Amino acid sequence: MKLCIAEKPSVAREIAAILGAKLKKNGYFEGNGYWVSWTYGHLCTLKEPHDYTGMWKWWNLATLPMIPSTFGIKLTESASAQKQFKVIESLVQRCDEVINCGDAGQEGELIQQWVLLKAKNTKPIKRLWISSLTEEAIREGFGNLKDGDDFLNLYAAGSSRAVGDWLLGMNATRLYTLKYGQNKQVLSIGRVQTPTLAMIVERQKTIESFKSAKYWELKTTYRDVQFSATIGKLNDKEKADKAIAYVKGKAFHIKEYTQKEGKESPPRLFDLTSIQVEGNNRFAYSADQTLKLVQSLYEKKLVTYPRVDTTFLSEDIHPKVPKILQGLNFYSQLTAPLLDKPIPKSKKVFNDNKVTDHHAIIPTGVRPSGINPDEQKIYAVITKRFIAAFYPDCIVSNTTVIGNVEKVEFKATGKQILKPGWREVFANEKSSSAKASDDKEAIMPSFTEGEHGPHEPEVQEKETRPPKYFTEATLLRGMESAGKNVDDDDLREAMKENGIGRPSTRANIIETLFRRKYLEKRKKNIHATATGVGLIDVIQSDLLKSAELTGQWEYKLRLIENGEYDVKLFRKELIQMVVDLTNEVMQAKDKTIALHDETKAKAPPKEKVKAKKKTLAELNCPKCGNGSLMKGKKAYGCSNHKSGCDFLVPFVMMGKKLTEKQIIDLISKKKTTIIKGFYRAGTDQKLNGRLTLTDDFNLGFEEG
Q: Which of 28, 176, 298, 305 is an active site residue?
A: 305
Task: Output the DSSP codes for 521-568.
Answer: EETTEEEE-HHHHHHHHH---HHHH-HHHHHHHHHHHHHHHTT-S-HH
Q: Are 476 and 502 in contact (CB under 8 A)?
A: no
Q: Which residues contact 47 (CB under 8 A, 6 or more apart)?
A: 68, 71, 72, 73, 74
Say how far residue 618 (Cα) sits from the centre of its chain.
52
Q: Are 463 and 520 in contact (CB under 8 A)?
A: no
CA distances for 114 relative to 3, 98, 208, 401, angstroms: 16, 14, 47, 65
Helix (H, G, I), strand (E, B) or coil at 670: coil
Concerning whether 391 is annotated as a catalytic residue, the answer is no
Measured CA to CA, the distance from residue 246 to residue 266 in angstroms comes to 46
| Residue 692 bridge partners (DSSP) | 671, 700
| Residue 395 bridge partners (DSSP) | 263, 419
Q: Which residues contact 62 (CB under 8 A, 6 or more apart)?
A: 654, 678, 680, 681, 687, 689, 701, 703
Q: What share of the chain is helix, strand, coil (3-state, %, to 5)?
A: 40, 20, 35
Buried b (16+ CB within 10 A) or exposed e, 213-240: eebbbbbbebbebebbbeeeebeeeeeb
Q: Which residues contact 579 (CB under 8 A, 6 or more apart)?
A: 65, 67, 682
Q: Which residues contact 673 (CB under 8 A, 6 or more apart)?
A: 662, 665, 690
CA distances for 251 relative to 400, 442, 448, 501, angstroms: 20, 23, 15, 58
Helix (H, G, I), strand (E, B) or coil at 25: strand
Side chain identity at residue 156, one-letter code: A
Among 493, 576, 587, 588, which residue's Cα sits nearest to residue 537?
588
Q: Which residues contact 208 (CB under 8 A, 6 or more apart)?
A: none
Please give the DSSP secondary-structure letter assigned to residue 96: S
Residue 108's Cβ-side half-sphere holds a number of Cα atoms within 13 Å equal to: 23
CA distances for 35 relative to 26, 43, 88, 121, 142, angstroms: 11, 19, 10, 15, 14
Measured CA to CA, the distance from residue 36 to residue 98 in angstroms comes to 10
Q: Are 58 and 696 in contact (CB under 8 A)?
A: no
| Residue 229 bridge partners (DSSP) | 410
Long-range Cβ contacts of 182-191 (<8 Å, 24+ apart): 182/592, 182/594, 182/595, 183/595, 184/595, 184/596, 184/696, 185/531, 187/535, 187/538, 188/516, 188/518, 189/539, 189/544, 190/165, 190/509, 190/512, 191/164, 191/165, 191/550, 191/553
Strands 2-6 and 97-101: parallel
Residues annotated as part of the active site:
305
